[in-house]
Structures are given as C-alpha cells and as structure tokens.
Structure 1
Amino acid sequence: MNAGARAALDGAHVVVIGGSSGIGLAAAAAIKAQGGHLTLVGRSASKLEAAAQQLGGARTVVADIASRTSIEASFASMTRIDHLVITAGSLHTGKLVDTDPDPLLVDLHERLAGPLYSIKAALPWLHARSSIVLTGGQYADRPPSSGAAIVAAAVSGVEALARALALELKPIRVNVVAPGLVDTPLFDVFGQETRSAIFKQAADSLPVGRAGRPEEIAEAISFLMSNGYVTGEVLHVDGGGRLV
C-alpha cells in the first residue's frame, strides 16, 4: 500500500457493512493496517465477534442490510463516518423458466435496496470529505448464459446508483468496486464439488489463470477511499473476466 493511501485512512472511521467475512473482512483488515478505526456491520453476532478478534479489535453492530428498520437502528448509535463500505449481499441463482422468482429477488433487495437504506441512514454522519464504496460485479457487463439474471440486474443497478449519487451527494464521493470471481465463502452455497469446478474453470479461462483473492479486492477498495479525485467510477478487478 502506498504512503498516500496509508495517510488518507490513518485515524479515519470506516463502517464496513458485510465486514465479517470474505471481501468485507479483507477490506477491514486493510483499513486496520492503515490505521483506520472500524465498525463492522453484519447479520451474525458470532461471525462479527470472530472477525473483530481476528482484526485485533473493532466495534461491531448486528444488522440486516435487507431490513430498513434494522439498518436505521444500527446507525442511530454511530458518530462521524469518514468512509462507508458496503460489501454485503448473498448469491442466489436459478433459471427463471423453472425457478420461483421470489428467492432470486432476495439478491436484488440486498444488493440494491440494502445500500440505499444504508446510505440514507449514514447521511447524518457523513461529511464533505467522506466516501462511499459499493460492490458491483462482473455480471453487470458479462452475465453467464443463464441462472443469474437477477444478480446481473442488481449489480448493474449498483453501478447506475453510484453514478447518480456521485452527483446528488457531492462532494461526498461514491464509487463501485466490481469484482470478478473471488475465492470467498459466498460460493459455499454450491457445495464443495461444484465450488471446486467453478474455480477450476476460472483457472482455465481467465487471462490471469486463477480466481481472485479477497485481499486483491480490498486493495481496490482502499484506493477508492483514498483517492480524493475519483467519484462515480466503477473499478473492475476481475482478472480479465469481462474479456473472455
């Protein structure tokens, strides 16, 4: 991490929603290493406690990003927020032709409505030099042939939301990190055999020859928080996945 980024986050209060695992936890570790003060928000008290211990200390708040009342309550006890990072969101897939759409819509609510609830609740604590980093994904540009229509709609919406809010909330900066395939617990829902096949396919097809690591996405999040001249942008960290 360069000295400029380290200085920008030193002493900053950063709220990470979804910070108990995966990309969110990696981002929290990077922030902590740069001298930032953390508030981790997530659904599971036990996972948050484990994450805080792993990080060597962090404030934790239990809240469900898909619940407006839960998120509003979680921000009621906040103080000044320098940066808001939102990585929360599950993954539900299925072909629309033979799948009940309601479970698929959970992704849309968590990944699009959830950030709206969170940003609205955070506004009283943000200031002119604050930033917001949302999480999109490669499916916005290159969805798979089937099974991920709702996820693709959600992450596409996140990109549009960030561009609009970068204007509406100025001078607060709003950006998106768009990961490709990253080795996180998000893929545990598929079972070990399918999960292994997914990552083997990535190794065979991606220009970089492997799936991403959470720490690599965390570096991009740190950049978006630290560079005061970047707003309304989507930073793709996908190993070239949009190209193949």
Structure 2
Amino acid sequence: MASLTGRRVLVVGRAGGIARAVTLALRAAGAQVVVAGRDEPALAAAYDDPDVEAETVDLTDEPSVAALAGRLGRVDHVVSTASARARGPVGELGHDVVLKSFDVKVLGPLLLAKHFAPHLPADGSFLFFSGSSARKPAAGMLAVGATNAAVDALTRGLAVELAPIRVNAVSPGTVDTGAYDGLGERKKAELFAAREATSPARRVGRADEIAEAVVFALGNTFLTGVSLAVDGGEPLV
C-alpha cells in the first residue's frame, strides 16, 4: 500500500454522509484534503482542520470543473461522491430527473477526469461511486441502477485510457446516511429492516466502512478498473 501521508486529495460531495466519512478517513491516513461542492460555506464549516481546504464546484457545469482544476493545480487523487437520486417506477420517472442523475454521477466524473488528469502524477488515481443497484435490479430503482452501471463502465474505460493513472469505483449497498431521509421515517425504517433481514451481512452499512474502502483503493497501486463492492452481499439474495 502506498502511503497517503502528505498526498493531496480532492473530495467532491456534500458536507456530511459518506463524503464527510471519506474526508475524515483520508485525514487520519495523513492526506491533505480539498473538499469541493456547490455549498462551499457548509463545507468550510464542517471541518475544523487547517489541512482541509474548501472549494466550489458544480459537476454539471464544465467551466466550473475546469476552473477548479486550474485553481488547484497538482493533486494526487480525485474522489467524487456526488449523486442526484432518481428513484421511482418507470411510469413516474421524468426526463429531467433521470438526466440530472447521469449528469452528476456519470458526466461529472468524466469531466473531472478530463480536466484533472493532466494535473495528476503517474501514480495518482480517480475514485468514483457506483452502487449495488447496478448489479441487482429492484422495482423503483431502474434509473439509479442504470446510472450506477454507467459509472462502472466509465471506470473501466477510463482505467484503460488514462493509464498508468488508476481509476476505480466503490460500489456501496444500503448505508445508513441521510441519503434515505427523503423516503420518510416509515419507509426508511422498512427498507433498513428488509436489508437487515435478507442481506448476508444482516445489517445495513456504515459510512466509515465505505470510507475505509476508499482509502484502500487510493493506496493500492495494483488496483485499477475495479468497482469494489462494499454492500454486505445485498446482490446475492
């Protein structure tokens, strides 16, 4: 495993949930972290740490991504946790909702690769987020699954095109973060109970467990083109 001590890592995402867990895990591993997203003040307020910088970026806007790359210059690793949910049965999915899901989670990482690859060293890497719905279809998760499958394809393609820069993804299962709050308390509790009853792990995941996989992927210099499944075995049942 290559040390992350002193390496500069860009983490794109929100101020909480998995993005926060990833940032804290990277700092614990000795990395200097730049957190970036649409809400820079919230990001800046989330960390009381001089080795965590906050920046603004909109992954749906290419000039914004290019400008961030220009401001930061060299970074060693780029992590994107950003997503825009498009849950619902096919009959209720709107064009704009599905398009935004792809725009944030697939095209956004593509733009990050386009504009940051020239700034990464040969032993640098990109790390994106897929999801277990890419491997296990479920009613109401069609657009989410299609988006995640596209991330997996993007990861493999970029790993070939950007070599020797490595490109990987982490593919979580159901993780206890604010991502499910939009379901409402009852539906969220029902979903978690179902996962606890059926998944081989017999529980939902934690954000810190996903962050550990991110640290592993950035540090393992023989890992590329892989979507690491950290999902408690959900797709197996």
| TM score, norm. by length of structure 2 | 0.95
Residues 134 and 146, structure 2, Cα contact 8 Å, conserved in 1: yes
Does residue 92 of structure 1 match 2:86?
yes
Partner residue in 1 for 2:118 = 124
Note the alpha carbon deviations across 1:73-92, whole angstroms, 9 max, x for none: 22220121111111110212
Question: In structure 1, what is the Cα distance between the partners aligned to 2:154 and 2:30?
Answer: 30
Partner residue in 2 for 1:141 = 135
Question: In structure 1, what is the Cα distance between the partners aligned to 2:163 and 2:30?
Answer: 26
Does residue 13 of structure 1 match 2:3?
no
Partner residue in 1 for 2:18 = 23
Q: Point out the more displaced range, 23-32 or 92-101.
A: 92-101
Residues 86 and 115, structure 1, Cα contact 8 Å, conserved in 2: yes
Does residue 33 of structure 1 match 2:28?
yes
Q: Could you say what secondary structure the match of 1:171 adopts?
A: coil
| TM score, norm. by length of structure 1 | 0.92
> 1:101 offset after TM fit, Å?
2.7
Aligned residues: percent identity? 36
Question: In structure 2, what is the Cα distance between the partners aligned to 1:222 and 1:71?
Answer: 23
**Code of the aligned partner of 1:207:** P
Question: In structure 1, what is the Cα distance between the partners aligned to 2:92 and 2:169?
Answer: 32
Does residue 157 of structure 1 match 2:150?
yes
Q: Could you say what secondary structure the match of 1:178 adopts?
A: strand
Residue correspondence of structure 1 range 77-226 to structure 2 within 5 A:
77-144=71-138, 146-226=139-219
> 1:56 offset after TM fit, Å?
6.0
Question: In structure 1, what is the Cα distance between the partners aligned to 2:209 and 2:193?
Answer: 19
Residues 32 and 51, structure 2, Cα contact 8 Å, conserved in 1: no
Q: Which runs of 5+ in 1 are unaligned?
A: none
Residues 171 and 231, structure 2, Cα contact 8 Å, conserved in 1: yes
> 1:10 offset after TM fit, Å?
0.5
Structure 1 pair 153/99, CA: closer, same or farther in 2 (3 Å)?
Answer: closer
**Code of the aligned partner of 1:106:** K
Note the alpha carbon deviations across 1:170-221, whole angstroms, 9 max, x for none: 1000111100001111112212222222112111111111110010011111
Question: In structure 2, what is the Cα distance between the partners aligned to 1:22 and 1:132?
Answer: 20
Question: In structure 2, what is the Cα distance between the partners aligned to 1:242 and 1:126?
Answer: 34
Partner residue in 1 for 2:61 = 67
> 1:69 offset after TM fit, Å?
2.0
Question: In structure 2, what is the Cα distance between the partners aligned to 1:106 and 1:69?
Answer: 17
Structure 1 pair 91/202, CA: closer, same or farther in 2 (3 Å)?
Answer: same
**Code of the aligned partner of 1:72:** A
> 1:121 offset after TM fit, Å?
1.7
> 1:62 offset after TM fit, Å?
1.5
Aligned-residue RMSD, C-alpha: 1.5
